[in-house]
């Protein structure tokens, strides 16, 4: 059975080191609801712990490491067919400006 969006959001927050209380505050949910989503995701993934569930979710491609705010993050958005976020657009501008400056100095 696939994970629902909230289970994925909770797993992502767990992967980033957030506590149930922090996740509940961010997602505007009750602490018990976050705990239920986490336990449901762990069960669906067949994991033994939260850490194991996060590992399995990365392996399955449910979670992915994303870069933001630099040239690589901008390129990753384009590769996935997404509109780059503002942070990545700014990082790309800074990258291009630094490359332009390097070319000027080399000439």
The mean pLDDT value for 15-38 works out to 95
Higher pLDDT, 55 or 80: 55
Per-residue confidence at 32, pLDDT binned at 50, 70, 90? very high
CA distance 62 to 56: 9
Distances (CA, A) of 42 to 2, 62, 71: 12, 13, 34
Structure pTM?
0.65
pLDDT tens digits, residue range 40-78?
999 999 999 999 999 999 999 898 877 778 888 888 888
- Treating both helix axes as pointing N-terminal to C-terminal, what angle do 86-106 and 71-79 enclose, rounded to 10 degrees? 120
17, exposed or middle or buried, with CB in 10 Å at 0-12, 13-18, 19+? exposed
Locate the domains of the chain by residue range.
5-60, 71-106
Provide the CATH topology of domain 5-60.
Arc Repressor Mutant, subunit A (1.10.10)
């Amino acid at each position: 059975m696939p994970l629902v969006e909230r289970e994925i959001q909770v797993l992502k927050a767990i992967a980033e080191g957030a506590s149930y209380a922090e996740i509940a505050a961010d997602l505007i949910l009750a602490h018990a609801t976050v705990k239920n989503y986490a336990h449901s995701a762990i069960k669906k993934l067949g994991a033994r712990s939260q850490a194991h569930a996060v590992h399995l979710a990365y392996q399955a491609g449910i979670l992915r490491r994303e870069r933001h705010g630099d040239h690589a993050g901008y390129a990753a958005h384009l590769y996935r067919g997404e509109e780059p976020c503002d942070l990545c657009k700014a990082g790309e501008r800074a990258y291009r400006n630094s490359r332009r400056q390097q070319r000027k100095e080399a000439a």
